[in-house]
Amino acid sequence: MELFFRKYGEGVPLVIVHGLYGASDNWVSIAKVLATDFEVFLIDQRNHGRSPHSVEHNYKLMVQDLYQFLENQGIEKAVLIGHSMGGKTVMHFAKKYPEKVDTLIVLDIAPKSYVSLSKKASIHHYLILNAMRSIDFSQAKSRKEIDNQLIENIEDERIRMFLLKNIQRDAQNKFSWRLNVEALYNHIDEIMNGELSAEEPITGFPVLFVRGADSNYILDKDFEKIKELFPYAELKTIKNAGHWLHAEQPEELLRIIKEFLNS
């Protein structure tokens, strides 16, 4: 699959891979800062953003999509930064193609299953996706009217505003989801699982995990599993940040990333 991408700057290739419901445009401000030292690529993963839709959605395919992207761009080795689902993608990629990884940075996700977490009320992904599937776009003349439909099932305004970034309007001025909502709904358990294990530890490049202090995606006990997979990994915690640390504390995240890449 040929992925949509944005490119900024020149230098060592650096690829940022977004998370579930995200897209490349969520990372433009981060990319422009990193572009002073790197050639930064922002990709849209399959079924997200402007990339093609597919009925299939799993980490094996997302890894192959990323591999094909690097091949198409003539990139032999790259710095890989992945957030949430994108973090799982780059971890799986590093396991299969370690020779293609210059540095690995994983943002607020661990190499474990999140199926049970995803069913908690605060981030119930079936609830979120069903709310998205239930939108009657024929009755919506504005994003506000779409939000009014979402609010019936999703009280958290931050989640709704994030989802509404995925609304598109066609030439006939009709709204629709840019995301492939049906494919994500059909494969949400695979997305939330994606657990990694390794017969041998993965080494040969620097590895950094960054978590939000207010997030429950990387717990203290998870670092033991991280070290089994990536024995030389480092872990940094950003205060006053939850799961979307790139939106909540972008300056601190950039400081940590740049400090690690320059060390």
Cα separation of 251 and 119, whole Å? 31
Cα separation of 228 and 224, whole Å? 6
Residue 139 DSSP code: G
The runs of H, that is alpha helices, within 101-236 are 125-133, 143-150, 157-164, 181-186, 188-192, 222-229
- DSSP string covering 201-247: ---SS-EEEEEETT-SSS-TTHHHHHHHHSTT-EEEEETT--S-HHH
187, 213, 221, 214: which is closest to 110 by C-alpha? Answer: 221
Residues shown for the chain: 263
Q: Is 79 helix (H, G, I), strand (E, B) or coil?
A: strand
Cα separation of 187 and 168, whole Å? 23
- H/E element holding 187? none
18, 10, 30, 36: which is closest to 262 by C-alpha? Answer: 36
Catalytic residues: 84, 182, 243
